[in-house]
Amino acid sequence: MGHAVRYDGRAKPLVHPAIERWRAEGRLVTICPEMSAGMPVPRPPAEIAGAATGEEVLAGTARVVELTGGDVTAEFLQAAENAVALARQTGCRYALLIDGSPSCGSDFIYDGSFSGRKQAGNGVTAAALKAAGIEVFSDREIERLVELVSE
């Protein structure tokens, strides 16, 4: 949504006429899952270790680690729980998430090697939202979401 919440302290705004319309209509509910769990900005980059996915983190068989070696699995699980709680609280049926992060990635995430290699998969929050019945869309799928919402 243009807020500087990325791990590197930068913003990654998604500019689209539908976003502006939904904002004006008061239809948007925004959250940075990591910040909702108390993670700072900036923070060390994190990836899901071992080419695992958010579903595996939720199942307890994978973890999220920082480039520095710190284990931030608990924070990412709390972040996902917060996002699901907010979605339920507000009656949210759709989530539009920026792809690539170990939290919000829904088409791709990084493979845990901190080498920039991408793999198909969900981040922890995306996986949790999907498990809760929320339809998740990546920033590259906004046109699909626009069509769905306008039906």
Where in the chain are the domains?
A: 17-142
Q: What is the pLDDT of residues 9-60, one digit of tens each?
A: 888 888 899 999 999 999 999 999 999 999 999 999 999 999 999 999 999 9
Query: Would you give the DSSP letter of residue 6?
Result: S
β-bridge mates for residue 2, sequence order: none
For the chain, first and last CA: distance in Å? 24
Q: What is the pTM of this model?
A: 0.94
Angstrom distance (rounded) from CA 123 to CA 34: 12
Identify which of 86, 85, 75, 90 has the alpha carbon closest to the alpha carbon of residue 35.
Answer: 75
The residue whose two tokens read 């019945």 is 133
